[in-house]
Amino acid sequence: MTTDALSRVFAALADPTRRDMVARLAEGDATVSRLAEPYEMSLQAVYKHLRVLEDAGLVSRPPGPQPRAVRLEAEALDLMDAWIERHRRRVEERYRRLDALLARMEGEEDEQEPRDEDRSRPGRAGHPDDA
């Protein structure tokens, strides 16, 4: 699958009804009639949603007479997962570098700030007005 396929998958899942259909199909295959049950739309509208999901490679329907089971295709989800995981790793690495930089900066600040015990040490050179 190419980037175009990835774009089709994300575009197909941009619709909440199609996301719900995919979530329901993750539980198991279902006929179009069964998929249509919770929606207040025509069967024709359900078929249009399924066509978008099919074009994106998210679902398939085997050829043959009706009723045919609609099946979720895991490969499309694997494609999305790989893309998301690649970018998640990049972002996490940026945050790790930022955390390390902040820790170094905090350590440098601690070294530069005089501690209270340093101020009370005898023999420490104080301010000329202190004399």
What are the pLDDT digits (tens) for 77-112? 898 999 999 999 999 999 999 999 999 888 887 777
Measure the CA–CA gap between 75 and 58, rounded to whole angstroms. Answer: 8
Measure the CA–CA gap between 89 and 46, rounded to whole angstroms. Answer: 37
| pLDDT tens by residue, 35-53 | 999 999 999 999 999 999 9
Measure the CA–CA gap between 11 and 53, rounded to whole angstroms. Answer: 9
Average pLDDT over residues 66-79: 89
Q: Which residues contact 45 (CB under 8 A, 6 or more apart)?
A: 39
Sheet strands (E) in the chain: 30-31, 59-60, 69-72
Q: Tell me the two tokens of residue 44.
A: 């024709």
* Residue 109 identity (one-letter amino acid): E
The closest alpha carbon to 13, from 88, 84, 91, belongs to 84
